[in-house]
Amino acid sequence: MCIAVGGLVRLLTIWKPVMSPVSLSSPPGMQKLDSRPPNRRQVLHVGVAGVVGALCPTGSLFGAKDEFVQAIDAHTHFYDPTRPQGVPWPNDKDKVLYRPVLPAEFLKIASPHQVSATIVVEASPWVEDNQWLLDLAARERSIMGVVGRLDPALAEFPELLGRFAKDPLFRGLRIGHRQLKAGLDEPTFIKNLGLLVDADRELDVNGGPEMLVDIARLSRALPKLRIVINHAANVRIDGGPPPANWRDTLRDASAGAHVYCKVSALVEGTGRRNRDAPTDVDFYRPVLDILWNTFGEDRLIYGSNWPVSDRAAAYATVYGIVQSYFAAKGRGPLRKFLRENAIAAYKPPGRDKPPVE
């Protein structure tokens, strides 16, 4: 259980500017700071809501009506198998995922938790699906950015990157560990990834714990490249201490100043497939503690991996686990985890400025 009493005591004794409540329809990043000290009723309301939020970790930290943190979910997938060309993933035998998965459904399940925006990650290897996602993002205000999928080993990579990077919503690429491992010793591959630095775009990397050694190598080769480790390197989670090799290589990868880690796919890491992943934050604490001690408050990013996460747990569980953990760290670290670190890593257009006064 997350304990919020310490935060309540700090709130009662130290005044800080607070965010004025806004509606869920307000564009993320546009909340206004209220410079007036809170009155007694506001203090009591926030304090009690914080305690209630700790007792009910699947709810909002400050209650359903007080949106002090408008969160960004930095890892979702959108696709539509009913379109004429279909989709390469998921296949039609997947009873959970094979259906249209679009922003309206995401907002329905995420907005009760003050998650009002997302960075969507392309799961399709088809080049033109990058454009499909960008077109969707142009219509959907909730999509703050698109992480595309292109192969840096291709000769036409510079041309393709130049094409998609003309759209400010195209924020970077995702590659797999196999691609990274194969390309690290290829000068053209490294040169092409260097184009991401020139374009001020980032690189997501997905794979198992063994990829962390190669992420450390890439970060040394391209120290200015913003790299986001996906899914905490897909470490197995069983409630006990994680493997020492994952811990040590995670530390090596984190030595790069621009290496971030997405705290996502935790429930998938349990191996559960019937929406029965553990809901208690303590089950995940050994992994979360290592992530926190390794990356600190400035380089951990919230991501749900929805809808893939649906196999293991409901969205409320996915969000509630990490919200409970980071809420105990304080309001500042929670806000960074749920919002500011995603902005720092992805630099979505128009969202990299402080809230308007």
Q: Within a domain: residue 52?
A: no
For 42-51, 209-218, 296-305, which range has the lowest pLDDT when averaged over its residues?
A: 42-51
Position 355 in a domain: no
Q: What number is the average pLDDT over the span 119-138?
A: 97
Identify the helix (H) or strand (E) that includes residue 263. strand 259-263
pLDDT reading at 74 higher than 70: yes
Supply the pLDDT for residue 56.
43
Over residues 239-291, the pLDDT tens digits come to 999 999 999 999 999 999 999 999 999 999 999 999 999 999 999 999 999 99
Query: Which residue, among 148, 140, 198, 141, has the nearest Cα to 170 in the 3D structure?
Result: 148
Tell me the residue range of the domain where 332 lies.
71-346
Count of structural domains, the chain: 1
Residue 300 to residue 336: CA distance in whole angstroms: 8
- Confidence label for 69 from pLDDT (cuts 50, 70 and 90): confident
In a domain, 267, yes or no: yes
Q: Does 251 fall in a domain?
A: yes
Here the CATH number for the domain that contains residue 309 is: 3.20.20.140
In a domain, 26, yes or no: no
Residue range 294-305: mean pLDDT, rounded: 98
* Local structure of 38: helix, strand or coil: coil
The verdict on residue 46 lying in a domain is no
Does the residue 182 lie in any domain? yes
The pLDDT tens digits for 139-184 are 999 999 999 999 999 999 999 999 999 999 999 999 999 999 999 9
Identify whether the C-beta of residue 259 lies closer than 8 Å to the C-beta of residue 229.
Answer: yes
pTM of the model: 0.81
Query: pLDDT grade, residue 346 (50/70/90)?
Result: very high
- What mean pLDDT comes out for the span 173-202? 97
Contacts (Cβ under 8 Å, ≥6 apart) of 275: 310, 311, 312, 313, 314
Question: Which pLDDT band holds residue 68 (cuts at 50, 70, 90)?
Answer: low
Distance of CA 20 to the CA centre of its chain: 25
Could you tell me if residue 265 is inside a domain?
yes
